[in-house]
């Protein structure tokens, strides 16, 4: 195994702490142990004796301990991503799917083009094919272990989807099975490059949504493992609003001009649900979402610089966006959307939701053009506060439903849940009682009422 891994070119940067690199080192020591300990003679040359001093830490027990350590790491990775059946193949597939290098980055979302780099990629795929077919029998026999046989036919404990990254798990296992069936390097090359064309590579290829965090003064984008599996049809009503959002998003993913979008209106009307549904529905076309909180706006320019050259379309999502008078973070947002020296890249849009139409809190004094005490113009303050919302080319209003619309939402949601057997009249009567004591009329209230009935029955 060590010889194979050492010959990798394009996929060489695995990280010294990677399971594959560490296993390769263990197997190199095993080969030495087998030759010089198990098959040793009574006489050694001086150079051989010196080498044995350097290798004195290698023993059967130490090799087994080190192997078990890597198996434990592999099991932990399998638990995080829900791997099953052949964990060794799953792991190698995961490496191929997540390794960002010169070949994979140019292949993401477009596939492999003609170029000299393909020669080096084929070299690496030949090695990965050999690793897929690697026979662990000799190691297990000599050391008296069976861990590799076990992970090659592994039966995982069934877990709830929220306990692991279901989206990644499905893709890894599907691609792993297809790579297992490849007879030669050409087939291997075709399967993996088709995956890069369909989904891309690394965390952006595997995941739909992301957040940012600061780690030791370094900005990091990390995936949200389990996004809500909602589609636009799950949101009852608001057809005009949904269509406006769809039209803008389709133009964006197709590479046509599109606008930043502000979804504003009453709480519980489905603004955030629409954004989540849009990401789910256009993920296959290369749409990704990065959620950013208000205190992180100062990092917006850095985030954009990290994603502007990737072959995806990114929505930077800001939920419940609003500012008090003393908050100045909106100035960072204004500069990023429009007004800064650097042009915002074509693969980035900003979608925001807010309960406020104008985002920044206003006072009646803002609307008085003159201040009596010193005669300063208040209209300048008003323009400053409106300048942010004016930078959103599309604004979509979500208003609270009427009583009739509320009952319609309730009855439509009830039809989707067979466990609810109330008549429409009984349903509306109970829904009316529910909203009086649960925050008033809204789509969210309707969904909470249906959840209550389904759980009760």
Domain boundaries, the chain: 2-205, 221-398, 403-456
The residues, any chain, with a CB within 8 Å of residue 135's CB and separated by 6 or more, are: none
163: left (phi over 0), alpha (psi -120 to 50) or beta: alpha
The predicted-structure confidence for 391-409, as pLDDT tens digits, reads as follows 788 999 888 888 898 889 8
pTM above 0.75, yes or no: yes
Model confidence at 29: pLDDT above 50: yes
Model confidence at 44: pLDDT above 50: no
pLDDT at 328: 61
pLDDT at 298: 83
The predicted-structure confidence for 77-100, as pLDDT tens digits, reads as follows 998 888 888 999 999 999 999 999
pLDDT at 206: 86
Q: Give the residue, 58 or 371, on which the prediction is more confident.
A: 58
Rg (CA), the chain: 29
The predicted-structure confidence for 260-298, as pLDDT tens digits, reads as follows 999 988 888 888 899 999 999 999 899 999 999 888 888
Report, as an integer, the average pLDDT of 437-454: 86
Model confidence at 49: pLDDT above 50: no
Q: Tell me 370's DSSP state.
A: B
The predicted-structure confidence for 145-179, as pLDDT tens digits, reads as follows 999 999 999 887 766 555 556 778 889 999 999 99
Q: C-alpha angle with apex 294: 389 to 161, nearest 5 degrees?
A: 110
CA distance linking residue 179 with residue 419, whole number of Å? 43
Starting at the edge strand found earlier in the chain, the sheet holding 218-223 runs 218-223, 209-215, 287-291, 313-318, 348-354, 261-265, 394-398
CA distance linking residue 100 with residue 221, whole number of Å? 15
Q: C-alpha angle with apex 254: 249 to 256, nearest 5 degrees?
A: 85
Is the distance from CB of 300 to CB of 334 less than 8 angstroms?
A: no
Compute the mean pLDDT over every residue in the chain, rounded to the nearest whole number: 83
The residues, any chain, with a CB within 8 Å of residue 139's CB and separated by 6 or more, are: 27, 30, 67, 145, 148
180-185: long-range contacts (C-beta < 8 A, 24 or more apart)?
Answer: 180/86, 180/89, 180/132, 182/129, 184/129, 185/122, 185/125, 185/126, 185/129
Report, as an integer, the average pLDDT of 247-260: 94
Over pLDDT 90: what percentage of the chain?
A: 34
The predicted-structure confidence for 313-357, as pLDDT tens digits, reads as follows 999 998 887 766 655 666 667 666 665 555 678 899 999 888 776
Is the distance from CB of 118 to CB of 5 less than 8 angstroms?
A: no
Model confidence at 372, in pLDDT bands (50, 70, 90)?
very low
Residue 309 CA neighbour count, 13 Å, CB half: 5
The predicted-structure confidence for 93-147, as pLDDT tens digits, reads as follows 999 999 999 899 888 877 777 778 889 999 999 999 999 999 999 999 999 999 9
Query: Domain 221-398 falls in which CATH fold?
Result: Rossmann fold (3.40.50)
139-144: long-range contacts (C-beta < 8 A, 24 or more apart)?
Answer: 139/27, 139/30, 139/67, 142/30, 142/34, 142/38, 143/30, 143/60, 143/63, 143/64, 143/67
* Structure token digits, residue 257: 């001009």
The predicted-structure confidence for 170-214, as pLDDT tens digits, reads as follows 899 999 999 999 999 999 999 999 999 888 898 888 889 999 988
Model confidence at 71: pLDDT above 90: yes
For 310, the 3-state DSSP assignment is: coil
């Amino acid at each position: 195994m060590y010889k194979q891994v050492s010959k990798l070119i394009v996929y060489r940067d695995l990280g010294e702490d990677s399971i594959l690199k560490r296993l390769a080192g263990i197997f190199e020591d095993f080969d030495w142990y087998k030759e010089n300990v198990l098959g040793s003679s009574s006489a050694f040359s001086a150079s051989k004796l010196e080498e044995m001093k350097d290798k004195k830490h290698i023993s059967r027990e130490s090799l087994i301990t080190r192997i078990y350590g890597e198996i434990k790491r592999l099991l932990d990775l399998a638990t995080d991503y829900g791997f099953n059946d052949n964990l060794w193949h799953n792991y190698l597939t995961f490496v191929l799917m997540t390794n960002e290098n010169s070949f994979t980055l140019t292949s993401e979302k477009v596939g492999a083009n003609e170029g000299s780099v393909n020669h080096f990629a084929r070299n690496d795929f030949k090695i990965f094919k050999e690793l897929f077919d690697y026979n662990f029998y000799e190691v297990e026999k000599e050391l008296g272990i069976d861990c590799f046989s076990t992970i090659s036919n592994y039966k995982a404990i069934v877990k709830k989807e929220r306990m692991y990254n279901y989206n990644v798990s499905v893709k890894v296992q599907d691609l792993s099975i297809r790579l297992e069936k490849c007879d030669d390097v050409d087939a291997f090359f075709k399967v993996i490059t088709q995956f890069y064309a369909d989904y891309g590579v690394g965390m952006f290829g595997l995941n739909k949504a992301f957040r940012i965090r600061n780690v030791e003064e370094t900005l990091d984008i990390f995936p949200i493992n389990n996004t809500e599996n909602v589609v636009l049809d799950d949101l009852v009503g608001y057809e005009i609003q949904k269509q406006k959002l769809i039209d803008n998003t389709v133009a964006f993913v197709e590479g046509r001009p599109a606008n930043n979008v502000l979804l504003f209106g009453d709480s519980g009307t489905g603004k955030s649900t629409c954004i989540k549904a849009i990401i789910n529905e256009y993920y296959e076309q290369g749409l990704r979402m990065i959620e950013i909180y208000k205190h992180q706006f100062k990092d917006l320019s850095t985030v954009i610089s990290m994603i502007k050259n990737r072959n995806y379309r990114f929505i930077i999502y800001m939920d419940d966006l609003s500012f008090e008078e003393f908050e100045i973070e909106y100035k960072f947002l204004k500069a990023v959307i429009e007004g800064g020296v650097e042009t915002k890249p074509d693969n980035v849009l900003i979608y925001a939701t807010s309960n406020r139409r104008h985002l920044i809190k206003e006072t009646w004094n803002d609307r008085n053009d003159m201040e009596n005490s010193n005669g300063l113009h208040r209209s300048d303050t008003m323009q400053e506060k409106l300048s942010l919302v004016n930078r959103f080319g599309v604004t979509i209003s979500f208003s609270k439903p009427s009583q009739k619309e509320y009952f319609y939402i309730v009855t439509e949601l009830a039809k989707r849940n067979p466990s609810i057997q109330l008549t429409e009249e009984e349903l509306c009567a109970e829904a009316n009682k529910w909203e009086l004591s649960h925050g008033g009329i809204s789509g969210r209230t309707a969904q909470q009422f249906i959840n209550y009935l389904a759980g009760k029955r």
